[in-house]
Chain A
Amino acid sequence: MRTLAGIARELIGLFVDDGMLAVAIIAVIVIAAIVASLTPGTTAGVVLLAGSLAVLFANVLAVPR
Chain B
Amino acid sequence: MTWATSAPAISAAFLGSLVEAIEALTIVLAVATVRGWRPAGLGAAAGLASLALIVAVLGPLLDRVPLHLLQLVIGVLLLLFGMRWLRKAILRAAGVVPLHDEAAAFAAGTVELSEHRSRLDWLAGLASFKAVLLEGLEVVFIVIAVGSGRGLLLPASAGALAACGLIAIAGLVLRRPLARVPENTLKFAVGVMLSAFGVFWTGEGLGVAWPGADLAIIGFAALFLLVAALAAVAVRRPLEVAP
Question: B133, A7: Cβ atoms under 8 Å?
Answer: yes
Give Cα distance in the complex from A32 to B208, angstroms: 10
Partner of B206, one of A6, A33, A52, A59: A33
B229 smallest CB distance to A (angstroms)? 11
Count how many chain A residues have C-beta atoms less than 8 Å from C-beta atoms of the other chain: 35
Residue on A nearest B78 in the bound complex, by CB: A15
Which residues of B are at the interface with A, using a C-beta cutoff of 8 A?
76-77, 79-81, 83-84, 86-88, 90-91, 96, 126, 130, 133-134, 137-138, 141, 195, 198-199, 202-203, 206-211, 220, 223-224, 227-228, 230-232, 234-235, 238
A-B pairs with beta carbons under 8 A, tally: 107
Task: List, in ascending order, chain A residues with CB within 8 A of B208's CB.
Answer: 36, 42, 44-45, 48
Contacts A42-B208, A53-B227: A48 and B88 contacting too (C-beta < 8 A)?
no
> What is A's interface to B at a CB cutoff of 8 Å?
3, 6-7, 10-11, 14-18, 21-22, 25-26, 29, 32-33, 36, 40-42, 44-45, 48-49, 52-53, 55-57, 59-61, 63, 65
Q: Among A7, A25, A44, which residue has the most Cβ atoms of chain B within 10 A? A: A25
Find chain B residues with CB under 8 A from A60 CB.
Answer: 87, 90-91, 231-232, 234-235
Contacts of B80 in A (CB 8 A): 15-16, 22, 25
Report the Cα distance A13→B224, complex, angstroms. Answer: 22
Task: Pick from A6, A11, A61, A63 the residue with the most CB of B within 10 Å.
Answer: A63
